């Protein structure tokens, strides 16, 4: 960013951030209505207050910064990162009002975790919160998964090139269709159809398992939203253990695996290109890494004699590993059970799975299967080049929607981002260890935050060091936005400060 | 004209459904393979 | 001297026989979710007592009922009550507006329950309701209503200012 920042820049950023904030305020009406339905009057009032406050902030921002200019790429990135922060703070208000958080920082931790579809939480006494607050938590992950920005795009902004740039700032770079509005509508259509089907399927399973019908479909909605967004929240502290149902777990697993797929892939497959699912480099990479890490997990579990039969090994082991690899974070074992019984190798294999993560342009995190595939193929191509005669021309290819050339530039971009992810994983681990946490625990939890997974070994507690909370929050944020947007925001702030100083000096 | 749009909508819905089924089938197969791996580890025990 | 000894012995025996035996004598040790999970290998297969509030969904299934009992901040344990075990009537389950029955169970703890595909659970042998539940007070605080009114008023003002621009979106 080597230019001056002008007042108009602030207006563009302020205006679009305001619009996104208004979207968030409107979203708060959903948990408010939920509380009204369940006659949770106090909770309904809390959400009414929060909604009105958020809308107020949004409208003030939009009013003060009103502009007709379209955002450039830099603006778009700053808006994406900035509105994330504003949404995080305002979305924490219902948590504060509920009395279930120990501090405002804790509330922000939970909302950051929700929007980034991580799933770690500092909420106190989860088993006794209102249906409204539960709806809010799960809704945050669903919306976060879709991208707060896409939400704003669909409902508040007309179709412009500027809006596309905001979405690129969000990390969903696939060029699906030329028209942005069309893309947003497409993403929403696929997600909403699955939302409908998922809620019904999971609701029916819940009912069959003994949950009363009117509650069953709320559970269905919560678990679907948690799964599809690869968020990992659940309405009760026992997470998936609450339901004591393998059907519930398997159905959820299907949805979170689907949620971890690239939206461009969904689009291609739904448009008729069904073979893509077998040829796509991300799917191939994912399949290989899932089965490999799972085999490692099985090795570890068998060596320690943790599970007595194949069914138990499958139900607990596979679910946990796939939940980690897709960066979902739902669990059907206790956090401390995972640490104590799975042991170092089991934990390491899961950590690696989380670190790699899901597909690009999906709700999932990690450094992404696409980059994994590109780097592996890059290495393979380099080896081939070494072994080939000097004059032979060796080009690598990878299949992602169509055949692509594996240029040096592509491999380099992938490698840079992977290094950045590994950097935040390691820094988070170091901070954890500096506070005295064992290495395996500190590394696991740091990777869980940075890859937006949400599986916990017990490090994430209200009593954990404040600096560590902030470190994890930064990891979640940077991991979700895949760095570019966050770096642009910091660059923008730095440049604004410099510009203001220059202007003062010139005056 | 209406006939064509109705045809388009049915084909589009049909494509959506087939797409969904393909994805779910793939996912189910992956889960199935996971289960087989578990069985493999317990073979002979 | 001998008679004194006989009298004393009779008195002691009488006291021991007639005195009420404390309820906990012979009762399995009271445990918590944290203890059981941390000590899962130690407690595996042992009979324990467990006390907790019945969470919202009591799941009646073919071969028994599942209860989730909450015994602390973000700790809860799944308890399976087989069909042949007497289940008392649970009057209240946890809700935003209700405190659930606090129930005491004794049962066998499983680190990885074979019947339930590796679940960490307790299979109850006896279930008793210790404290019946009740409705919570949950009063609406007046100051929050005032906050709402003030903020809503401000919002109305700002929205009016925002939308009254001649044609929203046109700027000179």
Residue A381: pLDDT band with limits 50, 70, 90: very high
* pLDDT tens, N- to C-terminus, chain B (45 residues): 567 677 777 888 888 899 999 999 999 999 999 999 999 999 976
Which band of pLDDT confidence, cut at 50, 70 and 90, is reported for residue A154?
very low
pLDDT at C171 over 50: no
Residues of B in contact with A258 (CB under 8 A): 23-24, 27
Q: Are A165 and A72 in contact (CB under 8 A)?
A: yes
Beta partners for residue C135, in sequence order: C98
Cα separation of C162 and C169, whole Å? 10
Residue A363: per-residue pLDDT: 87
Domain contains C17: no
> Is A370 a residue whose pLDDT tops 60?
yes
Closest Cα in chain B, distance from residue A272 (Å): 6
Quote the domain boundaries for residue B41.
1-45
CB C77 within 8 A of CB C69: yes
CB contact under 8 A, B16 and A193: yes
Q: Which of A194, A277, A311 sits opposite B26 (nearest CB)?
A: A277
Query: Of the given ranges (A83-92, A418-427, A484-493), which has the lowest mean pLDDT?
Result: A484-493
Q: For C85-123, write each residue's pLDDT tens digit.
A: 999 999 999 999 999 999 999 999 999 999 999 999 999
Return the pLDDT at A178.
47
Q: How large is the average pLDDT for residues A130-143?
A: 96
Cβ–Cβ < 8 Å for A407, A382:
no
Mean pLDDT throughout A190-209?
Answer: 95
Residues forming a β-bridge with C122? C79, C109
Residue ranges making up the domain that contains C62: 22-135
CB A165 within 8 A of CB A488: no
Residue C5 has pLDDT above 50, yes or no: yes
Contact at CB, A42 and C139, closer than 8 angstroms:
yes
Position B11 scores a pLDDT of: 81
Beta bridge partners of C82: C64
- Cα-based angle A419, A424, A430 (whole degrees, multiple of 5): 120
Q: Which two tokens stand for residue B17?
A: 């459904």
Q: Could you give phi then psi for residue A44, rounded to 5 degrees?
A: -60, -40
Q: What is the ipTM of this complex?
A: 0.90
- Between A423 and C23, whose confidence is greater? A423
In total, how many domains does chain C have? Answer: 1
pLDDT band at C69 (very low <50, low <70, confident <90, very high): very high
Residues 6+ apart with CB under 8 A from C80: A244, C64, C65, C66, C67, C113, C116, C121, C122, C123, C124
Give CA–CA dist C64/C73, Å, rounded: 27
- Tokens representing A75? 């603006």
- In angstroms, what CA-CA distances link A90 with A27, A94, A125? 12, 8, 22
Asked if A270's CB is within 8 angstroms of B20's CB, the reply is yes
Please state the length of chain C. Answer: 172
CA B27 to chain centre: 7
CB atoms within 10 A of CB A68: 11
Q: What is the mean pLDDT of chain A?
A: 89
Chains B and A touch (3+ CB pairs under 8 A): yes
Q: What is the pLDDT of residues A215-267, one digit of tens each?
A: 999 999 999 999 999 999 999 999 999 999 999 999 999 999 999 998 888 88
Number of domains within chain A: 1
Q: Is the pLDDT of residue A174 over 70?
A: no
Chain A CA closest to residue B26: A277
Q: Locate all alpha helices (DSSP H) within A38-160, ordered by sequence.
A: 41-64, 73-91, 93-98, 104-115, 131-146, 148-156
Q: Are chains C and B in contact at 3+ CB pairs closer than 8 Å? A: no
Question: Could you tell me the CATH number of the domain that includes residue C70?
Answer: 2.40.50.140
Asked whether residue A134 is assigned to any structural domain, the reply reads yes
Interface test with B, best of A247, A254, A315 (most B CBs within 10 A): A254
Does residue A208 form part of some domain? yes
Burial group, residue A184, by CB count within 10 angstroms (0-12, 13-18, 19+): buried
DSSP-assigned beta bridge partners for residue C68: C78
CB-based burial of residue C171 (10 Å sphere; 0-12 exposed, 13-18 middle, 19+ buried)?
A: exposed
pLDDT tens, residue by residue, A241-252: 999 999 999 999
What is the H or E stretch that residue A29 is in?
Answer: helix A29-37
Query: Is the model's pLDDT at A319 over the cut of 90?
Result: yes
Examine residue C116 and state whether it is found in any structural domain, yes or no: yes
The contacts of residue A250 (CB under 8 Å, 6+ apart) are: B31
Exposed, middle or buried by CB within 10 Å (0-12, 13-18, 19+), for C12? exposed
Indicate the pLDDT class of residue A320, thresholds 50, 70 and 90.
Answer: very high
Measured distance CA(A316)–CA(A303) in Å, rounded: 16
Q: What is the pLDDT of residue A402?
A: 83
SS3 C111: strand
Residue A247 near residue A365, CB atoms below 8 Å: no
Q: pLDDT category, A172, cuts 50, 70, 90?
A: low
The verdict on residue C12 lying in a domain is: no
What pLDDT is recorded for position A164?
Answer: 47
Structural domain containing residue A179: 7-259
Residue A207 domain-assigned (yes or no):
yes
Q: What digits encode the pLDDT tens for the residues A458-486?
A: 999 999 999 999 999 999 999 988 887 67
Comparing A134-148, A149-163, A241-255, B31-45, which segment has the lowest mean pLDDT? A149-163
pLDDT > 70 in chain A, percent: 91
Residue of C149, C151, C168 to mutate, testing the A interface (most A Cβ within 10 Å of its Cβ) = C151
Measured CA to CA in angstroms, residue A22 lies from A26, A52, A87, A272, C118 at distances of 6, 10, 10, 37, 46
Q: What average pLDDT does the segment A375-388 reach?
A: 92
Which residues in chain A have Cβ-Cβ distances shorter than 8 Å to C140?
41-42, 45
Instruction: Please give the structure tokens belonging to residue A355.
Output: 């670190």
Cβ atoms of A196 and A218 within 8 Å: the answer is no
Output the DSSP codes for A251-280. Answer: HHHHHHHHHTS-HHHHHHHHHT-TTHHHH-
Distance of CA A410 to the CA centre of its chain: 24
A270/B34 touch (CB, cutoff 8 Å), yes or no: no
For A75-106, the pLDDT digits (tens) are: 777 888 888 899 999 999 999 999 999 999 99
Helix/strand/coil for C126? strand
What six digits make up the tokens of A332?
Answer: 């059907």
Q: Which helix (H) or strand (E) holds A404?
A: strand A402-405
The DSSP bridge pattern shows strands C47-54 and C64-72 to be antiparallel
Kindly determine whether residue C152 and residue A53, on different chains, have CB atoms separated by under 8 Å: no
Q: C92 near C76, Cβ under 8 Å? A: no
Q: Is C49 exposed, middle or buried (CB count within 10 Å of its CB: 0-12, 13-18, 19+)?
A: middle
C148 located within any domain = no
Cα separation, C73 vs C77, whole angstroms: 12
pTM (predicted TM-score): 0.89
The number of folded domains in chain B is: 1
């Amino acid at each position: 960013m080597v230019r001056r920042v002008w007042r108009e820049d602030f207006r563009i950023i302020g205006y679009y951030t305001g619009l996104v904030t208004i979207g968030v305020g409107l979203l708060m009406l959903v948990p408010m209505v939920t509380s009204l339905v369940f006659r949770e009057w106090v909770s309904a009032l809390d959400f009414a207050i929060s909604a009105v406050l958020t809308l107020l902030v949004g409208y003030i921002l939009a009013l003060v910064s009103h502009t007709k200019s379209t955002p450039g790429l830099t603006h778009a990135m700053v808006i994406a990162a900035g509105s994330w922060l504003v949404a995080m703070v305002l979305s924490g208000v219902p948590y504060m009002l509920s009395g279930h958080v120990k501090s405002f920082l804790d509330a922000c931790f939970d909302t950051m975790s929700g929007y980034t579809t991580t799933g770690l939480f500092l909420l106190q006494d989860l088993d006794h919160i209102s249906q409204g607050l539960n709806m809010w938590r799960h809704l945050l992950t669903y919306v976060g998964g879709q991208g707060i920005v896409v939400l704003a795009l669909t409902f508040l902004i007309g179709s412009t090139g500027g809006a596309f740039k905001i979405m690129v700032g969000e990390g969903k770079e696939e060029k699906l269709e030329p028209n942005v509005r069309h893309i947003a509508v497409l993403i929403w259509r696929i997600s909403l159809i699955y939302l409908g089907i998922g809620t019904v399927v999971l609701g029916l399973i819940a009912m069959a398992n003994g949950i009363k019908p009117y509650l069953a479909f709320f559970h269905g909605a919560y678990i679907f939203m948690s799964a599809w967004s690869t968020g990992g929240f659940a309405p009760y502290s026992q997470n998936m253990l609450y339901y004591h149902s393998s059907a519930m777990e398997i159905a959820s697993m299907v949805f979170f695996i689907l949620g971890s797929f690239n939206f461009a892939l969904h689009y291609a497959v739904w448009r008729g290109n069904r073979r893509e699912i077998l040829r796509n480099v991300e799917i191939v990479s994912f399949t290989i890494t899932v089965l490999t890490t799972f085999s490692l997990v099985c090795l570890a579990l068998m060596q320690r004699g943790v599970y007595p039969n194949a069914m138990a090994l499958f139900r607990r082991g596979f679910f946990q590993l796939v939940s980690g690899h897709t960066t979902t974070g739902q669990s059907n074992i206790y956090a401390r059970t995972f640490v104590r019984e799975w042991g170092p190798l089991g934990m390491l294999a899961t950590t690696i799975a989380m670190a790699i993560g899901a597909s690009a342009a999906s709700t999932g995190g990690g450094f992404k299967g696409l980059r994994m595939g590109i780097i592996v193929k890059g290495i393979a191509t380099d080896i081939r080049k070494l072994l080939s005669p000097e004059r032979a021309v060796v080009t690598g290819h990878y299949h992602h929607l169509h055949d692509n050339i594996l240029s040096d530039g592509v491999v380099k971009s992938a490698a840079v981002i992977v290094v950045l992810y590994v950097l935040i994983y390691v820094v988070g681990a170091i901070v954890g260890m500096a506070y005295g946490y064992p290495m395996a625990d500190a590394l696991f939890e740091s990777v869980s935050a940075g890859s937006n997974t949400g599986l916990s070994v017990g490090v994430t507690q209200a009593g954990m060091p404040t600096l560590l909370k902030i470190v994890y929050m930064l990891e979640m944020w940077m991991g979700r936005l895949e760095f570019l947007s966050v770096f642009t925001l910091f660059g923008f702030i730095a440049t604004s400060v410099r510009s203001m100083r220059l202007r003062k000096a010139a005056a | 004209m209406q006939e064509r749009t109705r045809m388009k909508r049915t084909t589009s819905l049909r494509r959506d459904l087939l797409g969904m089924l393909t994805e779910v089938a793939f996912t189910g197969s992956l889960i199935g393979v996971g289960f087989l791996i578990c069985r493999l580890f317990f073979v002979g025990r | 001297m001998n008679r004194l000894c006989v009298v004393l012995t009779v008195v002691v025996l009488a006291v021991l026989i007639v005195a009420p035996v404390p309820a906990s004598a012979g009762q399995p040790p009271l445990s918590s979710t944290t203890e059981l999970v941390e000590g899962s290998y130690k407690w595996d297969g042992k009979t324990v007592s467990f006390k907790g509030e019945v969470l919202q969904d009591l799941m009646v299934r073919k071969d028994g009922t599942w209860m989730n009992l909450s015994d602390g901040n973000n700790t809860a344990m799944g308890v399976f009550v087989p069909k042949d075990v007497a289940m008392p009537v649970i009057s209240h389950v946890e809700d935003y507006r209700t405190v659930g029955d606090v129930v005491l169970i004794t049962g066998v703890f499983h680190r990885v329950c074979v019947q339930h595909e590796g679940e960490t659970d307790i299979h109850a042998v006896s279930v008793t309701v210790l404290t019946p539940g009740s409705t919570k007070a949950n009063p609406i605080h007046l100051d929050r209503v005032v906050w709402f009114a003030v903020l809503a008023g401000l919002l109305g003002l700002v929205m009016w200012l925002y939308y009254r621009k001649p044609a929203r979106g046109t700027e000179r």
